[in-house]
Amino acid sequence: MNAPLLPVQPRGPYPLFDFQVNGFAGVDFQSDTLSAEDLGRAVRALREDSVGGILLTLITDDESKLCARFRRVEGFRRSDPGIAAIVRGYHLEGPWLNPEPGYCGAHPAAAMHAPSIDAFDRLQEAAEGGIRLVTLAPEWPGSTPMIEALIAREVRVALGHTNASHEQIDAAVRAGATLCTHLGNGVPNLLPRHDNVVQRLLARDELTACFIPDGIHLPPFVLRNFFRAKPSGKVLFTTDAMSAAGAPPGRFRIGHMEVTVGSDGVVRGPHGGFAGSSLTPSQGVERAAAFLALPESESRAIWSHRSWGAFGLDPNDAFSTAGPS
């Protein structure tokens, strides 16, 4: 069973927690040549950005490559307490996503397929039990037993990169899915006016919506509408940061893809679509507060205490486990 939100009072300023970080400070977490020095540099930059923890996010790829990446990062976590203090686990975003154009986003569609609990168990073994969140598209055959198996393994399930029907969303919620990954994104630019997956997911009060409040992935007026549509306590924020976050404009990589980032902060893939964001968590606190007319303390609480609790983690741990990287 998923742990409930934790009734914890932090001992100081809330440390931020981001559950979808693909890279940071010029470092691509998807790289097969990621080094301890690279990851340590990203961790130091995250800590300087008031971050107390992340779920390091790996996106769609072949199972063998994902396993190798998990093992590599786990080796770094074992040998470096500073890395372990910030990397609190993993978010596996794919390969069980919708491969159709638009829905697949910046993920390689050719690597997507129906979910397999045996495949997940191999990935979780490579991650030494550290996968805390899985994003999947519930329209794949076998999704309902997959979600049930993940929940039994105390892994949170988010719906994303999906064109699930009402019935498929119903089945996913009954099986234990509780989150929506970067709701409003990972969909084609053109959708049916009313009956589309953004509206289907937004209407589900059982699901916590995760938004990227950079003003790019969702224009501020759209973010306001979406935020107002959700019940109190049913919103989380994330950066979906990739290697350009916390770095100057330029050319970067996210896995197989080279992207460009201009002075506007937009991460553009080779075909002009978004490919992650250059938002940092501290910028996310400021922008969410400004776009939604929230007190900054409330925005910060969503980015911190609520996010820690959503994954059964204690924000006070950030004070006791932080160390040099």
Which residue shows structure tokens 């053109």?
190
pLDDT at position 255 is: 80
- In DSSP terms, which residues pair with 221 in a beta bridge? none
pLDDT of residue 317: 65
pLDDT on residue 318: 54
**Which tens digits make up the pLDDT trace of 2-55?**
333 333 344 446 799 999 999 999 999 999 999 999 999 999 999 999 999 999
pLDDT: is 105 or 98 the higher one? Answer: 98
Query: The tokens 């996310």 sit on which residue?
Result: 284
Residue identified by tokens 């976590």 is: 77
Using alpha carbons, list the distances in angstroms from residue 129 to 39, 194, 268, 316: 20, 40, 33, 22
Backbone angles phi, psi at 282, to 5 degrees: -65, -35
Please say if the pLDDT value at position 275 is more than 90. Answer: no
Rg (CA), the chain: 18
For the chain, which domains are there?
Answer: 16-248+275-318 (3.20.20.140)
Beta bridge partners of 235: 209
**Mean pLDDT, rounded, for 98-105:** 95
The mean predicted confidence, pLDDT, of the chain is 92
- Which residues have a catalytic role annotated? 240
**pLDDT confidence of residue 1:** 34
The length of the chain in residues reads 325
In this predicted structure, which of 70-79, 179-188, 191-200, 241-250 has the lowest mean pLDDT? 241-250
DSSP for 258-285, please give it: EEEE-TT--EE-TTS-B-SB---HHHHH
User: Nearest-5° angle of CA 183, CA 144, CA 203?
Assistant: 35
Rounded Cα distance between 80 and 83, Å, is: 5
Pull the structure tokens for residue 264: 């506007």
The residue-averaged pLDDT of 71-86 equals 96
Q: What are phi and psi of 132, to 5 degrees?
A: -105, -20
Tell me the HSE value of 11 on the side-chain side, using a 13 A CA sphere: 6
Percentage of the chain with pLDDT > 90? 82
For residue 133, pLDDT over 90 is answered with yes
Q: In the chain, which ranges are continuous DSSP H helix? A: 36-48, 63-79, 81-86, 117-126, 143-152, 166-175, 197-202, 220-229, 281-292, 296-301, 307-310, 317-321
Distance between CA atoms of residues 269 and 109, nearest Å: 15
Q: Given the DSSP bridges, would you call strands 208-211 and 267-268 parallel, antiparallel or unpaired?
A: unpaired
Q: Which residues pair with 59 in a beta bridge?
A: 93
- Tell me what the mean pLDDT of segment 108-131 comes to: 98
CA distances from 315 to 75, 80, 170, 234, 283 (A): 24, 20, 32, 19, 20
pTM of the complete model? 0.92
